[in-house]
Amino acid sequence: MSLRTLLVPALALALQAQSPAVKILTEGPLSQAEATLKTTTDAERFALGVAQTLRALEHLGQGLHRHGSKARLVPVLRLPVPHNPNPAPISVDGLRRLLKTFQADLAKAELTLKIVKDSNFKFALPLGRVMLDLDGDGKATDRLLDLVGALRGGLPQEFEGNLEVAFDATDAAWLQGYTHLLMGLTDLLLSLDIQPYWEAIGPLLFERPILKAVQVEDDNDENNPKRESIVRFADPKALGSMRRHLLAMCALSHTTWQRAMAETDDDREWLPSPSQKGVLGVPVRREMVTAWLSMVSDLQSVLEGRLLLPNWGKDRALGFDLKAFLDNPPKSISLSQNMKQGPAARYLRKGSQINTQKFMQAMSVFGGEFMGMAIWFN
């Protein structure tokens, strides 16, 4: 290997450390990323995609802080934000606007990451110095890694310090997949009609929810929103959108690992192949990648309607067509009602069902660390 081959990448990474992208990601303001950053190279496009993704999280966090969020268990809404001693009131419509803005912000990031090619670029970033402004005071003082630690209940020792990562094309596909996952989860929340339950759940989510009592006369009516087992849909089309986002996420997971397995270097990897070490020091075995992609393929088949979900009722020859349900859901569905008796019955049909035993065996490859590894693997 020539001296030039060794020095050119090192020099490029050294120059990146002083780049506008690193400065915005570590000091802010993320809101100025689109106007400030160039997008002439894959490294620059990836950097902008990272900034736009973090801006989406920051923007959502500012909205949650403004309204005194207390949500800790709801996906997307469980973003930990600083305490607000004087929160603004929020209605169901206000919450929906927050979610739609988050989704629109993520869509910008996805479009940027989509045009990053499978090239040999690298973008060095000290993750420990990446800062967000979650309370909207114009100062980026919230460390990204502290946010991650709050979400996962603590950080491993490897997260301390700057934790510099040399991101590459593998990570571009990984992050693009994550934008689809977050947009899909947001679609799920937007699909639900929570207005009838707002008096009960609003105070659990926010400090000052705007409450409007719902009067229901017939407690025996199966469509009665006071019945906890009834799920009503405010925007059924959002479920079909969620399905498409999850399919895109699955395709990008295959792309991510295809790229990772083809890498020949070993340079501060965020998502290492079995032949690489990785900055987190967590080994990735080949059988893990094989098991993961097998599960992803099965999920794709379910989302495409080629495999059905098992029906644990009496007639197990019929499976549940999740694709048909998500693309054309009923106005409401009872979680306690027998599948063959309610609106869910029209989604039951004969066909190949997902092999749950095979799925569980694939999960067992990860031991007791499946959930943590799944969040990381995407």
Tell me the mean pLDDT in the region 201-227.
Answer: 69
**Which of the pair, 314 or 1, is modelled with greater confidence?**
314
Tell me the mean pLDDT in the region 168-195.
Answer: 97
Neighbours of 58 (CB within 10 A): 26
Asked if the structure places residue 171 within a domain, the reply is yes
Letter for the amino acid at 234? A
Asked if the structure places residue 318 within a domain, the reply is no
Answer whether 230's CB lies under 8 Å from 334's CB: yes
Tell me the mean pLDDT in the region 237-241.
Answer: 97
Answer whether 44's CB lies under 8 Å from 122's CB: no
Letter for the amino acid at 261? M
Residue 8 clears pLDDT 60, i.e. is over it:
no
Tell me the mean pLDDT in the region 295-301.
Answer: 97
What 3-state class would DSSP assign to 230? Answer: strand
What is the per-residue pLDDT across 300-325, written as a single tens digit (0 to 9) for each? 999 999 999 998 766 788 999 999 99
Taking the C-alpha atoms of residue 107 and residue 103, their distance in angstroms, rounded to an integer, is: 6
Give the pLDDT confidence score for residue 321 in this predicted structure. 96
Whole domain around residue 116: which residue ranges? 7-284
Q: At what angle do helices 169-191 and 42-66 cross, to 10 degrees?
A: 30
Residue 341 clears pLDDT 80, i.e. is over it:
no
Give the pLDDT confidence score for residue 218 in this predicted structure. 46
Residue 340 clears pLDDT 60, i.e. is over it:
no
Taking the C-alpha atoms of residue 21 and residue 25, their distance in angstroms, rounded to an integer, is: 6
Residue 242 clears pLDDT 90, i.e. is over it:
yes
Residue 217: pLDDT band with limits 50, 70, 90: very low
Tell me the mean pLDDT in the region 351-359.
Answer: 92
Which residues, at least 6 apart from 320, have a Cβ–Cβ distance to it below 8 Å?
Answer: 308, 309, 310, 311, 339, 344, 347, 348
Residue 170 clears pLDDT 90, i.e. is over it:
yes
Residue 129: pLDDT band with limits 50, 70, 90: very high
Tell me the mean pLDDT in the region 90-108.
Answer: 97
Residue 153 clears pLDDT 70, i.e. is over it:
no
- Burial 23-51, CB ≥16 within 10 A → b, else e: ebbbebebeebeeebebeebbbbbbbbbb
Tell me the mean pLDDT in the region 113-119.
Answer: 92
Which residues, at least 6 apart from 122, have a Cβ–Cβ distance to it below 8 Å?
Answer: 9, 12, 13, 43, 166, 167, 168, 267
Instruction: Tokens for 367, please give them.
Output: 């031991």
Letter for the amino acid at 31? S
What is the per-residue pLDDT across 35-63, written as a single tens digit (0 to 9) for each? 999 999 999 999 999 999 999 999 999 99
Asked if the structure places residue 363 within a domain, the reply is no
Residue 65 clears pLDDT 60, i.e. is over it:
yes
How many domains does the chain fold into? Answer: 1
What value does the mean pLDDT of the chain take?
88
Instruction: Give the range among 29-33, 332-336, 368-372 with minimum mean pLDDT.
Output: 332-336
Residue 355 clears pLDDT 60, i.e. is over it:
yes
Asked if the structure places residue 91 within a domain, the reply is yes
Give the pLDDT confidence score for residue 212 in this predicted structure. 76
Give the pLDDT confidence score for residue 202 in this predicted structure. 96
Tell me which DSSP letter residue 213 carries: -
Asked if the structure places residue 135 within a domain, the reply is yes
Give the pLDDT confidence score for residue 228 in this predicted structure. 54
Give the pLDDT confidence score for residue 337 in this predicted structure. 62
Asked if the structure places residue 298 within a domain, the reply is no
Give the pLDDT confidence score for residue 280 in this predicted structure. 85
Neighbours of 8 (CB within 10 A): 11
Tell me the mean pLDDT in the region 261-283.
Answer: 93
Asked if the structure places residue 2 within a domain, the reply is no
Asked if the structure places residue 371 within a domain, the reply is no
Give the pLDDT confidence score for residue 261 in this predicted structure. 96
Taking the C-alpha atoms of residue 216 and residue 227, their distance in angstroms, rounded to an integer, is: 10
Tell me which DSSP letter residue 340 carries: T
Taking the C-alpha atoms of residue 283 and residue 275, their distance in angstroms, rounded to an integer, is: 9
Answer whether 234's CB lies under 8 Å from 172's CB: no
Answer whether 114's CB lies under 8 Å from 128's CB: no
Give the pLDDT confidence score for residue 157 in this predicted structure. 60
Tell me the mean pLDDT in the region 191-205.
Answer: 94
